[in-house]
Amino acid sequence: MPAADPLPAAAPRVLRVAVAAPLGELLDYLAPASGAVQPGTRVLVPLGRARRVGMVVAVDQPTALPAGRLKAVAAVLDEAPLLAPADLDFLLWAAQYYRGDPGEALFGALPVRLRRAQPLLDDRPLGWRALPGAAAGVDAGHPELRRAPRQRAVLALLGRTPQGLTDTALRSALGDCAAPLRALAGRGLVQRCRLDATAAAAPAAAAEPDPPPILNQHQAAAAAAVATDAGFGCFLLDGVTGSGKTEVYLRLIARVLDAGRQVLVLVPEIGLTPQLRNRFARRVSAPMAVLHSALADTERERAWRAAATGSARLLLGTRSAVFTPLPALGLVIVDEEHDLSLKQQEGFRYSARDLAVRRAQQADCPVVLGSATPSLETLHNARTGRYRHLLLPERAGRAVDPEILVADIRAQPLETGLSHALLTRMEREIDAGNQVLLFLNRRGFSPVLTCHDCGWISECSRCDARMTLHRGRALLVCHHCGLEHGQPVQCPYCTSPDLRPLGQGTERVEDTLRQRFPGLPLARIDRDSTRRRGELERLLAAAARGEQRILLGTQMLAKGHHLPGVTLVGILDLDHGLYGSDFRATERMAQLLVQVAGRAGRAERPGTVMLQTRHPQHPMLSLLLREGYGAFATAALAERLEANLPPFSHQAMLRADSPQEQAALDFLVQALAAARPLAPPEVEFWGPAPAQMERRAGRVRAQLLLQAPTRGLLQRVLAALLPVLRGLKAPRDLRWSLDVDPQESL
C-alpha cells in the first residue's frame, strides 16, 4: 500500500456494495489490492458460486464480518464512478423509504446495458484532431504542404482547436474536406478519434427559438412567485386546462437555464411527450434529452449520459427519469402531478412525484407540481401551507371555459351507449365543420360475450373476470392476465350458435358511428389501435390538424393533448367511478371528467361537454359540475378527514399471492401476528382480506393494509417489520410485496 494511505496497514479496505440481486441488504467486500475504488463505481463480486454486478456505495466502512470471512471484489468495471455521491444518497434514500431492495433500486436506475457487466457505451462523437506538434508553424514546418492550400487550412484550423472538431464542424467551416483530411492522415499529421462530449455538444447555431407570448397577469404572478435562486421550495401550479401552465414552466426553465443549471421535467405518459417535446424544442435552444420506456436501450443510455455529464441541460422524461443523474439540477417540474402513471406499481414501487420533491430538496432547488386537477394529497399540502399554492383560474389567450351539459340516460334508449341527445348534438357540430371527441374508457368490442340460450358468459379461466370480445381480431381477451382465445362460433357449454356481445367498448362504438356517419373521417385511439410504434403520435398529429372529424378513445385521449378543433366532448360512461370500492374512486372520476372536458374548446371556438349518467343527482358529481374541481376537492378532503384516510393518515399495503387457495391469506395472518407487537396501538391493520379480484392470472391474492397517523411512525413500523417478513415461513411459490403510500387500495 502507498505510504500516504491513512489506514493502518493491517486494516483491510472494506467496500459496501449494492449487489444487483434481491438481497434486501448491502454486502461488504474487500477492496482490490490495486488501489482506490470510489463510490458509484460498478464492481464484479462473488456471490455464492456466481459472480454478480454490484455498485460500491461506500468505502472504508467498519464491517461486522471478521476479516477472514470477507471476500474480495473480483473486478472493477468502471474507470470513473457512474453515479455521484448525491445520486447514491438519493437512490438509497428512495430504496429505504419505499422498503425496496437497494441493489434493485440502484441498478433499476441505470441504463439496461450498465445493469449487466457491460462497459459504458462510447457515445463520444467521431472527429479529427491534429497530432501533437503537427500543427506548429503550419507554413514553415511543413514544406510538403506548400502546394496543398486545402490541407494547410485544415491543419491550421485543427491546430487552433486542440479539443478536435467533428466532421460537421469541419464541413461548416471549410466545406467538404474529406480529401485533405485523408491526405493529412496519410502524412501522420492528423488523427481520426473520439472527441470529448463537450466538443460535440456545442450546437451548430440552432434555429432561433420561437418568441414567448406575453404572460397574462396570473401567469406572470405564478412565474414571479417561484424564486429560482432561493433554494428548495415546493409549488403547486393549480391551473384549469388551457390556462397556460406550460408557458409558466417555459418561463421558469429559461431562467434556470440562463443561470447555467439543469432542469428536470417529468410527465406521466409517453403519449404526452411528442407534443410537449416539440413545444419545448421550439422554445428552448439549450441541448435537451428525452427519456421514456419506448426508446431503444442505446438511445436511453445516450440520453442518460447526456444528462449525467451535463451536456443535456433539459431532461424531459417519464417517471423513472426522476433517478437520472443531473449534476447541476436547478429546477424540477412535474406535469399532471395527479396522474397515476407517475406511480410505479410493480417491482420497486415508488411515486415519481413524491421523489421529485425529495430530489429538489436534496438539490436545494424549487419543484413545481402542475395540474388542472391536483391530487388530494398535493392540494392538502398546498392548503396547509407546506406547498405554495399558485392559481391560474382562467384559460389563457382567447379560449373560454366549456359548458357542461348532463344527459340523464335513465330509461333512455341508447344506440351502442350513445343517447339521442348526444347523437343530435354530434350531428350539429359535425354539420358546422367542427370536431367531436367521444370518451369511453373501455377498449375492445364488448366487455363480455354471452350465450342467449343457456346464459354462459365468457369468463377467464385464470382470473375472476370476464374476457373481452375483440371482434376485429376475432378474439376473446382477458384484460387482466392477457389470456386469449379465438372467438367461439358456438356456445362452449350448450353449442348454441346464438352468442351475443353485451355492453360496448370503443371498437363497437366505432362500428356504430361508421354506419351512422358513413365516409366521415374517424379515428379510434386506444391501446389496440396504437400498438404500432409512432401510431399514437401520427393519429394525434392528424387529429390536431383537424383531419378526423370524430375522435373516439379511452383515457389515452384524456391526457393533455392540444386539439384545437374539438368543440364537443361526449363522455359515454363514468358512472362506475361514482360507486367504486376504492376510496379514491370519486377523486379519479372527477379528475378524468375534468381532464376530458378540458379537451373541448381550447382555441377560438367555444366548447361543450355532454356527460351521460344514470346518477345526475349524485352529490359529489353535482358539486363538481356546479362548482368545479376546487369545491369538489374541499368536500372530498372533508370526507377523508372524517374517515381518517390519506392524506390524513399514511398507509402501506402488504400484498401476497400464490397459486394455492389459502397460502396468501395464511402468510398475511402470520404477517399480522408478527406486526402487531411491533406497532403501537395507534397503528391500524385492515385485513388480511382477499383482494378485490381474488384470482388473477391463476394466482390467489390477498392483502393487509397498515395505517398510521404519521409517516414517521409508519416508516418505523415497516423498518422493524421487514426483516421479520423476510424470515416468515412461506411456500416457495408465494410472492409478497410491500407498497408504501399505495395509490390503489384494492
Nearer to ligand ADP, 331 or 675 (CB): 331
Cα Rg for the chain, rounded, in angstroms?
A: 30
Nearer to Zn ion, 123 or 453 (CB): 453
Question: What phi and psi values does residue 447 have, to the nearest 5 degrees?
Answer: -70, -10
Determine which helix (DSSP H) or strand (DSSP E) holds 327, and give its type and residue range.
none
Nearest distance from residue 331's CB to ligand ADP, in Å?
Answer: 16
Nearer to ligand ADP, 243 or 612 (CB): 243
Nearer to Zn ion, 631 or 693 (CB): 693
Nearer to Zn ion, 498 or 661 (CB): 498
Q: Report the partner that residue 204 touches, choosing among Zn ion, ligand ADP, none (CB closer than 5 to 8 A by kind).
A: none
Nearest distance from residue 462's CB to ligand ADP, in Å?
Answer: 41
Q: Report the partner that residue 493 touches, choosing among ligand ADP, Zn ion, none (CB closer than 5 to 8 A by kind).
A: Zn ion
Name the DSSP letter for residue 610: E
- DSSP letters spanning 362-373: HHT-EEEEEESS
Nearest distance from residue 532's CB to ligand ADP, in Å?
Answer: 27
Q: Which residues bind ligand ADP (CB under 6 A)?
A: 213-216, 219, 239, 241-247, 396-397, 560
Q: Report the partner that residue 517 touches, choosing among Zn ion, ligand ADP, none (CB closer than 5 to 8 A by kind).
A: none
Q: Report the partner that residue 242 touches, choosing among Zn ion, ligand ADP, none (CB closer than 5 to 8 A by kind).
A: ligand ADP
Q: Report the partner that residue 245 touches, choosing among ligand ADP, Zn ion, none (CB closer than 5 to 8 A by kind).
A: ligand ADP
Question: Cα separation of 318 and 268, whole Å?
Answer: 6
Nearer to ligand ADP, 308 or 569 (CB): 569
Nearest distance from residue 146's CB to ligand ADP, in Å?
Answer: 60
What cell was used for 521?
373521417
Q: Report the partner that residue 462 touches, choosing among Zn ion, ligand ADP, none (CB closer than 5 to 8 A by kind).
A: Zn ion
Q: How many CA atoms lie within 13 A of 120 on its CB side?
A: 19
Residue located via cell numbers 392470472 = 697
Contact at 8 Å (CB) between 53 and 116? yes
Q: Report the partner that residue 246 touches, choosing among ligand ADP, Zn ion, none (CB closer than 5 to 8 A by kind).
A: ligand ADP
What cell was used for 408?
340523464
Question: Cα separation of 322 and 268, whole Å?
Answer: 12
Nearer to ligand ADP, 373 or 658 (CB): 373
Nearest distance from residue 596's CB to ligand ADP, in Å?
Answer: 14
Q: Report the partner that residue 434 touches, choosing among ligand ADP, Zn ion, none (CB closer than 5 to 8 A by kind).
A: none
Nearer to ligand ADP, 244 or 565 (CB): 244
Distance in angstroms between the alpha carbons of the first and the last residue of the chain: 58
The beta strands (E) that lie in 329-434 are given as 329-335, 366-371, 388-392, 403-408, 414-415, 418-419
Nearest distance from residue 241's CB to ligand ADP, in Å?
Answer: 5
Question: Cα separation of 136 and 138, whole Å?
Answer: 6
Long-range CB contacts (within 8 A, 24+) of 629-633: 629/372, 629/373, 629/590, 629/591, 629/594, 632/590, 633/374, 633/376, 633/379, 633/590
Question: Cα separation of 459 and 476, whole Å?
Answer: 10
Nearest distance from residue 394's CB to Zn ion, in Å?
Answer: 46
Q: How many CA atoms lie within 13 A of 497 on its CB side?
A: 0
Nearest distance from residue 368's CB to ligand ADP, in Å?
Answer: 12
What cell was used for 498?
346464438
Q: Is 14 left (phi over 0), alpha (psi -120 to 50) or beta?
A: beta
Nearer to ligand ADP, 223 or 708 (CB): 223
Helix then strand then coil, in percent of the chain rounded to 5, is 35, 25, 40
Q: Report the partner that residue 216 touches, choosing among Zn ion, ligand ADP, none (CB closer than 5 to 8 A by kind).
A: ligand ADP
The beta strands (E) that lie in 475-549 are given as 475-477, 484-486, 499-502, 522-525
Q: Report the partner that residue 239 touches, choosing among ligand ADP, Zn ion, none (CB closer than 5 to 8 A by kind).
A: ligand ADP
Q: How far is residue 333 from each of residues 228, 262, 341, measured CA to CA in Å? A: 12, 11, 16
Q: Report the partner that residue 396 touches, choosing among Zn ion, ligand ADP, none (CB closer than 5 to 8 A by kind).
A: ligand ADP
Nearer to ligand ADP, 239 or 417 (CB): 239
Nearest distance from residue 628's CB to ligand ADP, in Å?
Answer: 15
Q: How far is residue 123 from each of residues 168, 196, 296, 334, 574, measured CA to CA in Å? A: 16, 9, 15, 29, 49
Question: Cα separation of 15 and 712, whole Å?
Answer: 30
Nearest distance from residue 560's CB to ligand ADP, in Å?
Answer: 6
Q: Which of 520, 517, 541, 539 is nearest to 529 (CA)?
A: 539
Q: Report the partner that residue 496 touches, choosing among ligand ADP, Zn ion, none (CB closer than 5 to 8 A by kind).
A: Zn ion
Nearest distance from residue 735's CB to ligand ADP, in Å?
Answer: 40
Nearer to ligand ADP, 556 or 734 (CB): 556
Q: Which residues bind Zn ion (CB under 5 A)?
A: 451, 453-454, 456, 460, 462-463, 478, 480-481, 483, 491, 493-494, 496
Nearer to Zn ion, 115 or 462 (CB): 462
